[in-house]
Amino acid sequence: MWSFETEPEYQQKLDWVRAFVREKIEPIDCLFHQDQTYVVDNQSLRAIMKPLMAEVREQGLWACHLPKALGGSGYGQVPLALLNEILGRSWFAPTIFGTAAPDTGNSEILAHFGTEAQKQEYLQPLLDGDIVSCYAMTEPQGGGDPKQFTTRAVRQPDGSWRLSGRKWYASNARWAKFLIVFAITDPDVPVYQGASLFVIPAERAGVRILRNVGTTFDLPGTGSEGYIEFDGVPLTDADLLGKEGEAFRIAQFRLGGGRVHHAMRSVAQAGKAFDMMCERALSRFTQGSQLSEKQMVQEMIADAWMEIEQFRLFVLRTAWKIDKYNDYKRVKEDISAAKTLASRVVVNTVMKAMKIHGALGISNEMPFGDMLFRGFVMGTADGPDAVHKVVIAKQILRQYQPSNDLFPTEHLVKGVGAAMDRYAAELALPGDKSPWIDYVKQLRAEGHANAL
Ligand SMILES: Cc1cc2nc3c(=O)[nH]c(=O)nc-3n(C[C@H](O)[C@H](O)[C@H](O)COP(=O)(O)OP(=O)(O)OC[C@H]3O[C@@H](n4cnc5c(N)ncnc54)[C@H](O)[C@@H]3O)c2cc1C
């Protein structure tokens, strides 16, 4: 059964969200730097956000990424995709709806794998929007490759642990109440079994943020990517998230969700750039006609529309598959593809929109530079595109077998020969036939039965 329709009841909610985001949330983007999303003690911003968060709860749309039993609204991934493709228009909307990265992924794994005590201490305030969290996995020497990780938690004679090592690009570490840290706990087995996750309060002794790094547009010394040192941080088994040795499994679970949510929000970013492009094309008159009447502008609009629509449908199908299989591993290649496309489609669309706005598009009075850069960043954060393409190719190739001889299966001589054998009786009857038949007959007569 195929359907491209949204249930009328949920559509009403989406209509409400669309108006709510445009009228009440997008204006916040003009008033505060995006980083402030994570600063829970910004009183001015919180005074604006809190009542909006309450409205979202009243609508039953809070923390839609989580099932009801785990504290969310529990609509599933397809409704979440439809929601996120609106929320992604604004930097602040995901926070106001309780679905902002990286807290979504962190709340998801806390909800699924956390102990009751961890849920009480961290998950509830996280879901209430009262604290923010940090996920510290990537290391300076080997990037996101877990096989290069050296951050170690070493079991002590009394059964406790000591954590030592360095992480970098840990988003929001400076504002986080707690960190989820990926550490090697058994170096003698492959990392897939020898690493564990720990949930650590940010103020625990031995946790030190060495510095905070920004991205291209941040002033030196500012930014939200933490370089963190763990210097003999004392831990107990109560700090483990999930079981010892389960880090990889849990991390994949977290990243699966996080990546597809990024893709869902990217549909909105690309859509916003597209709206701006169309408005400008219809508004600007130069060189004898409206921009919208110039064929190269029309081509940009048509190409952008086709690319966004394909991407959107792909993201929705990925969401549908996650709902269907309830197993991120079974949709690995879809998630990697959605994440890779997210960066590409946002960058491509924003570049076209920027171009159509001419000098104005390049100016700092339009938001394109930021949108473009964020789209580009998406191609690195949560795993570089190159690595995701490797995943896609490996998964896809598993569905294929090599040809069993020198020539590919679709080699015409082989194919014609096989078809001739299958339909030999019918071919003996009169009627026009392909010249390939005589050719293959001749090859066979000459002894080239295997098409050589
Ligand atoms: C804005 C931002 C936020 C982030 N937030 C977090 C966070 O909260 N927590 C966290 O743990 N990490 C975070 N990261 C880190 C992120 O996960 C890593 O940047 C990512 O995994 C890539 O690692 P790397 O930067 O060391 O790049 P490298 O691994 O050094 O890769 C560099 C380049 O090499 C090429 N390359 C790499 N591998 C391959 C391959 N297998 N085949 C072909 N080419 C390849 C690609 O072109 C790639 O872009 C964040 C990064 C960014 C940019």
Q: Token pair of 286, please? A: 């130069």
Query: Of all protein residues, whose CA lies closest to atom 13 belonging to ligand 1?
Result: 169
In a domain? residue 87: yes
Q: How many domains does the chain have?
A: 4
Distances (CA, A) of 14 to 8, 17, 79, 271, 306: 10, 5, 9, 16, 23
Distance from the CA of 141 to the center of ligand 1, in angstroms?
11
Regarding the beta carbon of 343 and ligand 1, being less than 6 Å apart is answered: no
Statement to judge: residues 144 and 264 lie in one domain: no
Query: Of all protein residues, whose CA lies closest to atom 48 belonging to ligand 1?
Result: 384
Which amino acid belongs to residue 69? A
Domain that holds residue 343: 259-397
Distance CA 402, CA 417 (A): 20
On whether the CB atoms of residues 268 and 97 are closer than 8 A, the answer is no
Statement to judge: residues 222 and 323 lie in one domain: no
Regarding the beta carbon of 121 and ligand 1, being less than 6 Å apart is answered: no
**Which residues, in sequence order, are CB contacts of 337 under 8 Å at separation 6+?**
314, 318, 388, 392
* Phi, psi angles (nearest 5°) of residue 136: -110, 100
Regarding the beta carbon of 170 and ligand 1, being less than 6 Å apart is answered: yes
In a domain? residue 19: yes
Pocket test for ligand 1, best of 166, 169, 225 (most atoms within 8 A of CB): 169
Regarding the beta carbon of 106 and ligand 1, being less than 6 Å apart is answered: no
In a domain? residue 2: no
Regarding the beta carbon of 85 and ligand 1, being less than 6 Å apart is answered: no
Statement to judge: residues 210 and 323 lie in one domain: no
Spatial CA neighbour of 169 closest among 202, 203, 137: 137
Q: Can you give the pLDDT at residue 450? A: 64
Q: Could you tell me the mean pLDDT of each successive run of 10 residues in the chain, 452 residues long?
A: 91 98 97 90 95 95 86 87 97 93 89 94 90 95 90 97 97 96 97 96 98 90 94 98 95 87 97 98 97 98 98 97 91 97 98 98 96 96 95 97 91 93 97 96 85 60
Distance CA 192, CA 329 (A): 15
β-pairing verdict for 289-290 and 161-171: unpaired
CB atoms within 10 A of CB 415: 16
pTM for this prediction: 0.93
Query: Of all protein residues, whose CA lies closest to atom 27 belonging to ligand 1?
Result: 143
Using DSSP's 3-state secondary structure scheme, residue 290 falls into strand
On whether the CB atoms of residues 143 and 167 are closer than 8 A, the answer is no
Regarding the beta carbon of 390 and ligand 1, being less than 6 Å apart is answered: yes
CATH code of residue 143: 2.40.110.10
In a domain? residue 127: no
Regarding the beta carbon of 415 and ligand 1, being less than 6 Å apart is answered: no
Distance from the CA of 382 to the center of ligand 1, in angstroms?
7
Statement to judge: residues 173 and 100 lie in one domain: no
Query: Of all protein residues, whose CA lies closest to atom 16 belonging to ligand 1?
Result: 381
Domain final position from 181, 209, 241: 241
Statement to judge: residues 273 and 360 lie in one domain: yes
With residues binned 3-state (H G I as helix, E B as strand, rest as coil), the percentages for the chain, rounded to 5, are 55, 15, 30
Statement to judge: residues 219 and 266 lie in one domain: no
Regarding the beta carbon of 214 and ligand 1, being less than 6 Å apart is answered: no
Q: Can you give the pLDDT at residue 449? A: 66
Distance CA 92, CA 97 (A): 9
Regarding the beta carbon of 160 and ligand 1, being less than 6 Å apart is answered: no
Distances (CA, A) of 407 to 134, 417, 451: 53, 13, 8
Statement to judge: residues 267 and 377 lie in one domain: yes
Spatial CA neighbour of 87 closest among 119, 52, 130, 131: 52
Q: Can you give the pLDDT at residue 34? A: 87
Distance from the CA of 196 to the center of ligand 1, in angstroms?
21
CATH code of residue 346: 1.20.140.10
Q: Can you give the pLDDT at residue 73? A: 79
